[in-house]
C-alpha cells in the first residue's frame, strides 16, 4: 500500500480505557480537532471485551472516515477489515501479517532504537516504521530512549514514513517535526488533556 499520504501528521493511539462509551466520545473529540489516523490499543481488557470494543471503534471510524490501525493483533485486524496493523517486537511476524492481510493493508513496525529492525522493515517492504521512546513515557516507563541523532540517521537511510513515539506532548513535538518525522504518535499527551479537541487542533497545526 502507498502509505506516505496516510501515515502523516498526528497519529493518535488510544489509551487503556475500559469504558467504551467514554473512549468513543474521546475519538469523536479528536476527530473534531482534525485527527484522521487512529491506532486502537488496549492492554487492560480481556480478549472478548477487547474484540467488542474494537468492533465499536471500527464502526465509529467508518462513520468518521478515520484510518484505523490495530495494535498487535493481526487476527482482529483481519476480522474487522481494519485498515492495518502495528507490530511490536513480540507480535506476529511480518510474513504472517502480510499473508493474512494481503498487500492492500497497512503494516507498521516498531523499531525502537534498532537500526537492524529498520533495515528489516525496508527489506520486507513494511509501510511505516515507528521509533521511540523519544521522551519519558507513562505508557512504557522502561522503554529505551531514542536520540535525535538516531532519528536523523534513520531518515537518511529509510524511504518509509517514520513515526515518532514516546512521551510526546504539544511542548516537545516541534523538535521532532523539525527533524522531519512524518507523524507523531500521541497517547497521554492527547487523551490525557482537558480539552482534547483543541489539543488535537494544536498538534495538527504543527505540521502546516
**Residues that are catalytic:** 41, 110, 140
| Rounded distance between C-alpha atoms, residue 48 and residue 24, angstroms | 18
Polymer length in residues for the chain: 208
Strand partners, 13: 39
| Residue 153 DSSP code | H
Query: Which helix or strand (DSSP H or E) is residue 117 part of?
Result: helix 115-123
Q: Are 190 and 199 in contact (CB under 8 A)?
A: yes
- Residue 154 CA to residue 86 CA, distance in Å, equals 19
What count of other Cβ atoms lies within 10 Å of the Cβ of residue 89? 10
CA distance 93 to 207: 32
- CA dist 87 and 31 (Å) reads 24
Distance CA 17, CA 21 (A): 10
> What is the distance in angstroms between the CA of the first residue and the CA of the last residue of the chain?
25
Amino acid at each position: 500500500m502507498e502509505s506516505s499520504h496516510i501515515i502523516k501528521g498526528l497519529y493518535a493511539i488510544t489509551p487503556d480505557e475500559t469504558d467504551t462509551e467514554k473512549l468513543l466520545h474521546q475519538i469523536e473529540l479528536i476527530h473534531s480537532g482534525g485527527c484522521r489516523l487512529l491506532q486502537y490499543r488496549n492492554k487492560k481488557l480481556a480478549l472478548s471485551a477487547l474484540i467488542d470494543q474494537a468492533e465499536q471503534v471500527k464502526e465509529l471510524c467508518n462513520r468518521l472516515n478515520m484510518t484505523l490501525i490495530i495494535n498487535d493483533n493481526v487476527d482482529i485486524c483481519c476480522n474487522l477489515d481494519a485498515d492495518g496493523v502495528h507490530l511490536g517486537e513480540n507480535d506476529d511476524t511480518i510474513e504472517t501479517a502480510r499473508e493474512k492481510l494481503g498487500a492492500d493493508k497497512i503494516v507498521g513496525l516498531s523499531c525502537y532504537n534498532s537500526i537492524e529492525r529498520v533495515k528489516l522493515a525496508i527489506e520486507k517492504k513494511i509501510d511505516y516504521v515507528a521509533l521511540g521512546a523519544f521522551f519519558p513515557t507513562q505508557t512504557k516507563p522502561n522503554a529505551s530512549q531514542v536520540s535525535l541523532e538516531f532519528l536523523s540517521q534513520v531518515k537518511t537511510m529509510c524511504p518509509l514514513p517514520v513515526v515518532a513515539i514516546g512521551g510526546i506532548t504539544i511542548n516537545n513535538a516541534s523538535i521532532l517535526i523539525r527533524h522531519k518525522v512524518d507523524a507523531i504518535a500521541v497517547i497521554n499527551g492527547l487523551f490525557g488533556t482537558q480539552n482534547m479537541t483543541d489539543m488535537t487542533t494544536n498538534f495538527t497545526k504543527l505540521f502546516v
